[in-house]
Amino acid sequence: MLKNKRVLPFVALALVVTLALGAGLSAAAANAISQDEIAGIIETTTDKSLIESPLLNVANAAKESVVGVNNYQIRGSISSFDFGYGFRYRQPMDEAPRLRGTGSGVVVTSYGHVLTNQHVVDGAEKITVTFGETELDATLISSDENLDLAVLLVPGIQLPAAPLGDSDALQIGEYAIVIGNPLGSQFERSVTLGVVSSVSRTMLSSNRDRFGLRVNNENQMIQVDAAISSGNSGGGMFNTLGQLQGVPTLKFDSNFFSQTSVDNIGMCIPINAAKPMIKAALEQYDAEEAQQQAAAQPTQESAEAGIPAGQNTPRIGVQIFSLPSNYLPVAQGILPQGAYVAEVEPDSPASAAGLEVGDIVVEAAGQVIRDADGLVNIIRQQQAGASLSIKIYRVPGLDAVLEDAEGINRLEKGTYLDLTVTPQIIRDAAGL
C-alpha cells in the first residue's frame, strides 16, 4: 500500500504533462493557416481585360511596326599606293559582307518603306531588317546626313505601317513611348516610357556628308526622358494615339559631359522633318523596280572587277590614287574620301573640263566614289564622246601639303564643284 502511494505523484505529474502537451497541440492547431486560406492567397488570377492604361494598347500595337536594322559591310585594309597609275594593293578582304552594326527602324508605309537613322546604315554593303526569326533584304532609297535620316524599301514585308503624327503639335509633359532594339535583337521591341521634356531643343552636331567630309549641323530635336540605349537609334517615339512622332537618335550620358552626372536625356528627330523624304520615296515608288532592287545585292566581285584597259578604252587623261577611309585626314573628316588627282595631262578631256592637280573626285555618274578603282570602273564603262558629270572637292594648296600632317590641319576649307568631262579614246597612253 505504501508502495502505491509513492507512485501516485509520478502518475499525477504524467497526467499534468499530457494535459499540457494536449493543450499546446490544440493551440498550435488553432493558430495554423488552413490550406484553403493558403490556396486563396497563392492561387490567384488576373483579368487582363480589367487593366486600364492609356499606354497598353498603344505599345502593343505600335511595336508591331518596329524592326531591327542590320548593317553588313566588307572590310579590307590598304597597304600601299601606286601614284603613277592609281591602282592600289589591298590586303585580303572579307569574302562576304559581315554584320558590323545594328539599329532599329519603323515601317511607315504599306509599300514597305522603313524609316531609320542614316548613321545606322552608313557604309553598308548590304542592309537587312529583322523581326522575330525573319530577316529580309532592304534597299536604301534615300538618306540625309544632316538630318541623320534614311528611308529603306523592303518589298513584301508583312507588318503594319505606323501612322505618322504631327510633331509640331507635341506638348511638354505628354507621354513619350519609345520602342526599339536596344543592344540588338536580344531585346527586340523593348518599350520604355517617359515624357516630352522639350519640343524644340537646338542641337549642334558634327557629322560626315555623303563623301566623308566633316560638317557642322544645327537641328531642332525633341527631348525625352524615356530610356534610350545603343540600338534604339532609328526606332520610334510614339504618342498615346499610337502616332509616330519622332526618331530616337541621340542619348546624353556622363561620358558625354565627362565628370558631370547625366540621367534621362534623350533626343529624337521630329517626324515632320522626315516627311519630305517619305513623300519623295512614295512619289518615286515603282513596284517592279523595287522588287528587282531588293533582289539584286551588290557583291565585292562585281564592284571591284572593272574593265581591262586597252587601246579602245575611254580615258580622261589623269593619274589618280585613292584617299581611303583609314588615311588620317579622311578619318578625321578634314578631307572627303575619293580619288585624288595626282596629274592632269595637257590638252586632255580632264584639262578641258577644268580638273586640276589636288582635286578629289567624290562622285561620277551619280555614284559616290570611294577610291580610285571606283572612278576607273565608271569611266571605262562610258562611251567615248559622251558627257560624264563628276563632282570634285577642291581645296587650295592641297597638292603641296598632302604628305605633311601638320600642313593638313592648316588647310583652308574647300568647296564642292560640279564638272562635265568627255572621255575620249587616247592612244598609247597610260593612266586613266
First to last CA, the chain: 137
| pLDDT (average), residues 20-40 | 72
| pLDDT (average), residues 120-133 | 88
| pLDDT (average), residues 362-367 | 89
Cell of 142: 534615300
Residues 327 and 286 in one domain: no
Residue 387 near residue 416, CB atoms below 8 Å: no
Confidence of residue 87 (pLDDT cuts 50, 70, 90): very low
C-alpha to C-alpha distance for 138 and 71, rounded to whole angstroms: 10
- The 10s digit of each residue's pLDDT in 289-328 is 766 655 553 332 333 333 344 445 788 988 888 877 777 7
Examine the fold and report which residue of 295, 319, 335 is the final residue of a domain before the chain moves on.
Answer: 295
Which residue, 95, 213, 110, is CA-closest to 159?
110
DSSP secondary structure of 14-43: HHHHHHHHHHHHHHHHHHSPPHHHHHHHHS
Residues 277 and 417 in one domain: no
The mean of the pLDDT values for the chain is 79
Q: Which residue has the cell 518596329?
A: 66
What is the DSSP secondary structure assignment for residue 137, as one 8-state letter? E
- The 10s digit of each residue's pLDDT in 173-196 is 999 999 999 887 788 899 999 999
Establish if 432 belongs to a structural domain: no
What predicted TM-score, i.e. pTM, was given to this entire model? 0.59
Q: How far, rounded to the nearest angstrom, does the alpha carbon of residue 66 sit from its chain's CA centroid?
A: 14
Examine the fold and report which residue of 295, 324, 344 is the final residue of a domain before the chain moves on.
Answer: 295
Establish if 202 belongs to a structural domain: yes
Establish if 258 belongs to a structural domain: yes
Residues 93 and 216 in one domain: yes
Q: Which of 111-115, 210-214, 225-229 has the lowest mean pLDDT?
A: 210-214
C-alpha to C-alpha distance for 292 and 364, rounded to whole angstroms: 23
| pLDDT (average), residues 412-425 | 88
Residues 251 and 168 in one domain: yes
Vertex 35: Cα angle to 33 and 40 (nearest 5): 95
Establish if 89 belongs to a structural domain: yes
Establish if 270 belongs to a structural domain: yes
Residues 178 and 320 in one domain: no
What is the per-residue pLDDT for 427? 56
Residues 329 and 291 in one domain: no
In the predicted model, is pLDDT for residue 149 greater than 90? yes
Residues 347 and 417 in one domain: yes
C-alpha to C-alpha distance for 192 and 176, rounded to whole angstroms: 8
User: What CATH number has the domain bearing residue 365?
Assistant: 2.30.42.10
Residues 312 and 264 in one domain: no
C-alpha to C-alpha distance for 177 and 218, rounded to whole angstroms: 25
| pLDDT (average), residues 95-104 | 82
Establish if 386 belongs to a structural domain: yes
What is the per-residue pLDDT for 29? 61
Residues 277 and 401 in one domain: no
In the predicted model, is pLDDT for residue 131 greater than 80? yes
What is the per-residue pLDDT for 122? 86
Residues 115 and 229 in one domain: yes
Residues 319 and 176 in one domain: no
What is the per-residue pLDDT for 83? 36
C-alpha to C-alpha distance for 167 and 244, rounded to whole angstroms: 9
**Number of folded domains that form the chain:** 2
Domain that holds residue 340: 306-425
- CA trace torsion 250, 254, 256, 260 (10° rounding): 130
Judged by phi (left if over 0) then psi (alpha if -120 to 50, else beta), residue 118 lies in alpha
Residues 274 and 313 in one domain: no
User: What CATH number has the domain bearing residue 194?
Assistant: 2.40.10.120
Which positions ≥6 away from 147 have C-beta within 8 Å?
Answer: 118, 219, 269, 273, 274, 277
Confidence of residue 16 (pLDDT cuts 50, 70, 90): low
- The 10s digit of each residue's pLDDT in 252-287 is 766 555 566 667 788 999 999 999 999 999 998 887
Which positions ≥6 away from 190 have C-beta within 8 Å?
Answer: 179, 180, 181, 182, 232
* 3-state helix/strand/coil string of 153-171: ECCCCCCCCCCECCHHHCC
Examine the fold and report which residue of 253, 274, 295 is the final residue of a domain before the chain moves on.
Answer: 295
Establish if 430 belongs to a structural domain: no
Which positions ≥6 away from 205 have C-beta within 8 Å?
Answer: 148, 216, 217, 218, 219, 250
